[in-house]
Structure 1
Amino acid sequence: MTPTRKYNSSLLIRLHLVCIAAVSLLFVACTAQKAGSNKAMNQKEDVLQVLRQTNAYFMKKWPDTKEPIYTTRWRPSNIWTRAVYYEGLMALYAIDPKIGYYRYADDWANQHQWNMRNGVETRNADDQACGQIYLDLYQIDKQPIKIKAIKENIDGIIASGKVDDWTWIDAIQMAMPIFAKFGSMYNDPKYYDYMHRMYLYSRNEEGGGLYNTEDKLWWRDKDFVPPYQEPNGEDCYWSRGNGWVVAALVRVLNLLPQDHPNRAFYEQDFKDMMHALLKVQRADGFWNVSLHDPTNFTGPETSGTALFVYGMAWGINQGILDQTEFTEPMHRAWQGMVQDAVHPSGFLGFLQGTGKEPKDGQPVRFSSVPDFEDYGLGCFLLAGAEYYKYLSKN
């Protein structure tokens, strides 16, 4: 005979409620995870959409890749401003591999016979900047003609023994990554060694040294080394100029072997700069053109801001920058640019024109058109592509 079991009805009710609660919590957790995943995906798609939008504006405006650029005079389209744009386009191509992007870059290089504005004898970093794109395109389709001129140029620089070409900090971004690319491609330390000598000359010797080891920021060139001062008595640290150095360090560190003896040196400069920049970010996410004098031509500026976002996103992605410290400022800067600088047409506002200090290219307004539109978009594409990678990882 089966024994009779007595059940406590209140206990059963409590057990039933516990089970319902557990299932509910599991449902909420799964829903939240799915919502978080969808939100991240939406953010990624939003980033990609604005990159496509801004780039489409430019490609539509400049369908002929060889067309010279006219501002105060005619300039060939393989100068540094257009080269920086193509750096950004190749970064976009890496996350959104549309054949039209590749063809637009390859056609531009072909139209200029894979050469520089002043030929293989030039020592001007502004001329050499196009070489970064030629090398990117060569690594996709290894035809020797693509790197013949730029390799001859860089090998000639090394053979000369002169290391004092980079007398303004923009030059570090225009030329230094080319040495790193050749060092990586050929596994040849001479390229790494020579670029380090040139970097050290700019950092420590030109004008007494263009890097201020106290403030962890760079003077644009010797004209701005103290006693030069901004109106508020501070040193003049130009936003985009410091952005060029950030971008150069990112692009070099991306290529330099992990065990290279100079890697820690560049990483320290990079980290020190990024921490210094955190202190002077605006509440709206942007940086002013004058980093230590917000009263001198104050207001948002897109190109410097974009280069700093590029650095922050890359540093977080590589584990070099502390995610808890840099993520919010990075988000704020990206959102500031998208909300306040991007026009519905894809045109970028708040972009300072060419120059070397806060007063150049003014006024910088939402609707003002800079003398060159290309480099600002290049900076924005670099930032957005790296930010997209961050969202993909997180």
Structure 2
Amino acid sequence: MKGQKITGLGLLLCSILLITACASKSKISRTPTSTMQKEDVLSVLRSTNNYFMNKWPDTGKPLYTTRWRPSNIWTRGVYYEGLMALYKIDKDQRYYDYAVDWGENHKWGLRNGTKTRNADDQTCGQTYLDLYEIDPKPERIRDIKTNIDYVIASGKYDDWTWIDAIQMAMPVFAKLGVMYKDPKYFDYMYKMYAYSKNVEGGGLYNKKDKLWWRDKDFVPPYKEPNGEDCYWSRGNGWVVAALVRVLDLIPENENHRAEYLQDYKELMEGLLACQREDGFWNVSLHDPTNYGGRETSGTALFVYGMAWGINNGLLDDKIYRPAMELAWNAMVKEAIHPSGFLGYLQGTGKEPKDGQPVSFSSVPDFEDYGLGCFLLAGTEVYKLIANN
């Protein structure tokens, strides 16, 4: 079709051919054959979470890898996103108390104060706002609202120069917009999202492959060793999580909902096309030779996105459920230690070579964010089974 315009029915046929070709290549059955039980899913979530809570009983303890960092950084913020999701399906008071204790230990503040523009600093706000909704104590919302209002008042919207930032901050804007019934939060988060998608580095979203470049350093002419574009697994996972969390929050008539929904569906197609035969995804989505192998954090985020889409009637169950189930079962069978520790988890970074080696027994520089991704995935899988 090179040199030809593809429109209408042609686009639909191309999508069908892409999915069909992928199914043939990966040998993934497209007929749901689930034997999963919600009790088994919940047991796995409890096991992995208990491992972490027992290892980190002090929620205010600073983290040390290459240097000391406070425990309200983005990695821990992502864990608490997962914990709050788990709390919604498993009302264990320990989860709530653990999250509240974390907020109180940091005085409900952001790592670099209320004038930070770094999305990583704003991640904690997702949990602060969840806890505020449960018990509306003013200190829980004070700093995060002050900070987001400061960002909006600045008129500057080019902060999200790496796609991880979309997940770290965008749901905060969405939640504040819902809580205050104020569209200014929706409008501003769209400006920031659109800048990342269409402007930064010439635009970080590649509509052709339906995947996102992590930041401008990976936009072509940068190539992977096999000549393909570099699409980092977890980076695309962050965009999945952002779109899911935002779509789950914003009203049906929000001005840009249709675009978010289209981007979400396209991303799901792009990801389906590069799933491994064993259910996992590689750290490099289009180059299995560049640090190839199982990777849990990206896989978990993709499971989260697929299960949520099926739960909400947005994805075809017959196409996506087999892939989602294969991935979930692979993580449960291959990645989880008897202790609850998660294996095959890539450490922090921005590309395939970072945080290596990734193996069943390798310990990443931070364990918390990977568990957060896994808890988000598992809670959606649990709901899917329960709904059926």
Q: Deviations over 1:277-333 (max 9, x none)?
A: 111000110000000001110100000000000000000001111111101000000
Provide the residue aligned with 1:388 in structure 2.
382
Provide the residue aligned with 1:20 in structure 2.
none
Provide the residue aligned with 1:205 in structure 2.
199
Q: 2:253 aligns with which of 242, 259, 263?
A: 259
Provide the residue aligned with 1:21 in structure 2.
none
Provide the residue aligned with 1:357 in structure 2.
351
Q: Deviations over 1:87-123 (max 9, x none)?
A: 0000000000100000000000000000001000100
Q: 1:81 aligns with which of 75, 78, 84?
A: 75
Q: 1:117 aligns with which of 105, 111, 114?
A: 111
Structure 1 CA distance, aligned partners of 2:245 and 2:149? Answer: 20
Asked whether the 8 Å contact 1:202–1:209 carries over to 2, the reply is yes
Provide the residue aligned with 2:285 in structure 1.
291
- Give me the identity figure in percent: 73
The equivalences for 1:1-394 within 5 A come to: 43-394=37-388
Provide the residue aligned with 1:17 in structure 2.
none
C-alpha deviation, 1:41, in angstroms: 9.6
Structure 2 CA distance, aligned partners of 1:117 and 1:266? Answer: 29
Structure 2 CA distance, aligned partners of 1:197 and 1:72? Answer: 35
Structure 1 CA distance, aligned partners of 2:36 and 2:268? Answer: 28
Structure 2 CA distance, aligned partners of 1:252 and 1:189? Answer: 14
C-alpha deviation, 1:261, in angstroms: 2.3
Larger of the two Rg values belongs to structure:
1
| Structure 1: gaps spanning 5 or more residues | 1-38
Aligned structure 1 segments of 4 or more residues deviating by more than 3 angstroms: 39-42
With normalisation by structure 1, the TM-score equals 0.89
C-alpha deviation, 1:213, in angstroms: 1.3
Amino acid at match of 2:71: S
Q: 1:170 to 1:373 in 2, by over 3 A?
A: same
Amino acid at match of 1:111: N
Asked whether the 8 Å contact 2:178–2:250 carries over to 1, the reply is yes
Q: Which has the higher contact order (CA 8 A, sep 6+)?
A: 2
Asked whether the 8 Å contact 1:82–1:375 carries over to 2, the reply is yes
Structure 2 CA distance, aligned partners of 1:379 and 1:293? Answer: 23
Structure 1 CA distance, aligned partners of 2:229 and 2:59? Answer: 40
Asked whether the 8 Å contact 1:285–1:329 carries over to 2, the reply is yes
Q: 1:41 to 1:341 in 2, by over 3 A?
A: closer
Amino acid at match of 2:99: A
Amino acid at match of 1:159: A
Structure 1 residue matching 2:255: 3-state secondary structure: coil
Structure 2 CA distance, aligned partners of 1:317 and 1:258? Answer: 17
How many residue pairs end up in the alignment? Answer: 356
Asked whether the 8 Å contact 1:181–1:255 carries over to 2, the reply is yes
Structure 2 CA distance, aligned partners of 1:41 and 1:328? Answer: 11
Structure 2 CA distance, aligned partners of 1:307 and 1:41? Answer: 22
Amino acid at match of 1:387: V
Provide the residue aligned with 1:23 in structure 2.
none
Asked whether the 8 Å contact 2:34–2:325 carries over to 1, the reply is no
Q: 1:41 to 1:107 in 2, by over 3 A?
A: farther
Structure 2 residue matching 1:381: 3-state secondary structure: helix
Q: 1:59 to 1:124 in 2, by over 3 A?
A: same
C-alpha deviation, 1:259, in angstroms: 1.7
Q: Deviations over 1:31-74 (max 9, x none)?
A: xxxxxxxx989710000000000000000000000000010111
Asked whether the 8 Å contact 1:40–1:391 carries over to 2, the reply is no
